[in-house]
Amino acid sequence: MTTDPVCGARLEEEQVDFKAEYDRQTYYFCSEECKQKFLREPTKYLA
């Protein structure tokens, strides 16, 4: 299990279609919208 850093949704890595690499880590998102928000301001969500 992993957590969407934008909205806090709990996700199964294998079932996630929305992924982004940042600072050599892979992050998983529940939707394209969350992924785009993260990519716009990654530091805001990793703080």
Interface with Zn ion by CB under 5 A: which residues?
A: 4, 6-7, 9, 30, 34
Residues in the chain: 47
Minimum distance from residue 38 beta carbon to Zn ion (Å): 9
Nearest to 14 by CA among 1, 24, 32, 33: 1
Minimum distance from residue 37 beta carbon to Zn ion (Å): 8
Cβ proximity to Zn ion: between 27 and 30 the closer is 30
Q: What are phi and psi of 23, to 5 degrees?
A: 50, 45
Minimum distance from residue 41 beta carbon to Zn ion (Å): 14
